[in-house]
Chains A and B, each alone.
Chain A
Amino acid sequence: MSRVAGLGAAGAGVARRVRPGAAATLAVLILAALFPLVEGGSQSVMGLATLALTYGLVTLSLNLLMGYGGQVSVGHGGFLAVGAYTTAIVATHFTSLPPIVVLLLAGVVTGAVGFLLGLPAGRLRSHYLAVATLGFGLAMPQIALNLGITGGFAGLVTPTAAVGRFTLNSPVPLYYLALTVLAVSAVAIRSILSSPTGRRFMAVRDSEHTAPAMGINPWRTKVLLFTLSAFFCGLAGYVFAFYIGVVEPASFDFALSLFFFAAVVVGGMASIWGSLIGAALLVVVQQESLSAQAYSESILGVAVIIVLLIGPGGLAAVPRRVAGVVSRARARRLEAAAEATSPHQSPAPSSAGTPREG
């Protein structure tokens, strides 16, 4: 099938994969907001949920770049590192800044780094782009290791911050912070995607060669994509800095970037919900595998393989596949009924066949 854009093609049809609609989204949000009332006493569950939300935002930012933009990044851990380090450095040196300012700074600085990366990366495609982003992801922790301002190997302790009387360094307020940042970012990304800018992204993703004919400059669009993706990842970095408590190079290894890369595809490309669910699933699987000792690594790998074998379109495509199966079954019943009444007609080919993705 099409190898268009090498690795990034997802097809416009994919974007319509799942749109739960406003009511369901609200329901989930309410559930999420009430969650700490049930589990707030358990730091472990709160921590896990916060991690799922934070990684969900990173995965979402990566999906913006890959699923909607058709680019590739195997180094998003690097952006997370920039966001987290910016947070720690700014909060340490400028203690009077309100958290929202630090949050936005984390996003902006990371976005600027994304812009710089996008300049050369915008000229690259597929595997070549993958190598460039891979290098970026590996280089960020190494640079952090060697700079004084980043605290070298010991890293920086994230200072205490508070919003009102809630200290962000404690589990329940941090959870709400993560939820808020994620929700706002998701809404923002959604509106970007439905704006003309968003259509530009998808135009470049689907057909880079004809985009100029529509007055779109592919390179500029890609640079913007990297900038935006990095910005949102930087916001996640702010939350992450509080989550881990100490920002150090060891927290941002290559395995982390691979994790996000896998989460995007496992969850479903070009799907906001897919990213969140994909990240959450992998976080939970990883957590549950910790007691499996030496089998932990394999368990996570097998989980990824199984999810992809069952549904190559990712988890977000599952409802549609289920709907597809249901409607195919229904169609078959109708055909059988039709055949019974009119045996000379050749049966129509089942058109609700496996949807081709990408």
Chain B
Amino acid sequence: MLLRTISRTSGRAAVLTISSAAALALAACGSSGSSSSSSSGGASAPGVTSTSVLFGQTVPKTGPAALYGESTAGIQAYFDYVNAHGGVHGRKLKLISLNDQYEPPVALQATRTLVNTDNVFAEVGVNGTATTEANITVLDPANVPLVGPQTGATVFAGTLRKNLYNVWPSYLLEGKMLGTFAQTLHIGKVGVLYQDDDFGKSLLQGVQNSGLKPALAISYDPTQTDFSPQAAKFKAAGAGAVIILAIPGPTTDFLNAMNSINYKPVRIMSQVSAIPQMTQTAPQEFPGSYIGAFIPSLTGTVSAPVKTFLSAMTKYQPGKPASVFAAWGWTEAQVAVAGLMAVKGSITRDSYEAALNTLKNLQTMGGTINYTSSDHSGIGRMFMVKEQGGNRVPVAG
């Protein structure tokens, strides 16, 4: 009986067994590639050959956060620019960028792929706070350096990690600047709209650190579409200015909601909130807004570093937008490469980190970087701009 059962079902069973084994084998085959070793050590570090150095990045390429994926083009443009000028220590820079869909579990698996399968030397420009946290659960034990996570959250900016190097200004710094600026306007009541997560709350903390006491601080849920309640509340409270600590989508929505009820306070926003497209998507309320910035203006009269960036983008990444997101990537890549250039002797992860720790007064497009072995803080200075006619004009003070 047993034999008959086995033989009757064995056909289907065989198919199933084979298919499940095949599924896992597919994963193994597709992933293993050339590597059976994930160990570092030995003569050369992972990701470093005599002709190249390989960096990795996880960033959203699809979904609501896909705009941040434009940073890849900025990193790639800088790498191409450097390669065209001889590379670093005679080696070309290479980048592998994977789509993490802004989801931590996907970012985790993507990082594992980069570190264990693709054997990247280091990571650069990883995007997002939750996703970066997922990345470092893989990076920390393997001591893989990460330069320029695209976040200013205090969990990175305020805590020293041996292998993590901040480039962005911290959200505390930015919030403090926004709060200080609001006070210089001498407006009686200031409201604060903040996203209900690490990003918004860190910025809010920064605003409060400036000594500003908001008349009203309202959060919102990232999935919210109708911002009329928040707008109505600020209006009813008589807020003459509103500080907006939100990502572009909700910011657009909020600006339009304020317009709907004929409410136009002074608008102050984080550098993350404002993208150039908002001149079209929020045409009534975006112009005239004050925005925090560390990346200088990319339009109008531009500085020399920005010119280099723009022409490199045109030359090496034609068709890709030279947006503020690409500018983030460029700046982060500048730091990553500077560290590599400062390496003396053989290139290993340890020597790379030691070299990064020696960077002093490094001028990047977004500001100055100073690292020591006990301080991996990002750019320490930001400034305010005003949105006027599609350009960002610096504001004094």
Contacts and interface: CB of A to CB of B under 8 A. Distances in A.
Do any beta carbons of A and B sit within 8 angstroms of each other in the complex? yes
Interface string A214-251: 00000000000000000000000000000111101111
B10 A23 contact: yes
B10 A24 contact: yes
Given A21-B10, A48-B109, A42 B117 contact: yes
A48 B16 contact: no
B109 A47 contact: yes
A250 B28 contact: no
Given A27-B17, A28-B20, A43 B138 contact: yes
Contacts of A281: 23
A41 B9 contact: no
A207 interface: no
Contact of A288 (B5, B11, B30): B30
A276 interface: yes
Contacts of B368: none
B261 interface: no
Contacts of B24: 35, 49, 52, 280
B31 A45 contact: yes
Nearest to B9: A21
A281 B14 CA distance: 18
A212 B201 CA distance: 54
Interface string A22-59: 01100110010001001101111101110110000000
Interface residues of B, number: 63
A255 B62 CA distance: 13
A41 B38 contact: yes
A145 interface: yes
A153 B203 CA distance: 14
B104 to A, nearest CB: 5
A38 B28 CA distance: 10
Interface string B20-43: 110110111011100111100000
B104 A290 contact: no
Contacts of A345: none
Contact of B100 (A49, A255, A284, A290): A290
Contacts of A296: 61-62, 99, 101
27 contacts: A21-B6, A28-B16, A41-B37, A42-B116, A42-B117, A43-B38, A44-B113, A45-B28, A45-B31, A45-B117, A47-B108, A48-B27, A153-B201, A243-B108, A244-B105, A244-B134, A248-B104, A250-B197, A255-B101, A281-B23, A287-B113, A290-B106, A292-B99, A294-B62, A296-B61, A319-B16, A322-B15
Given A24-B16, A286-B106, A293-B97, 5 more contacts: A155-B130, A243-B108, A294-B62, A297-B101, A319-B16
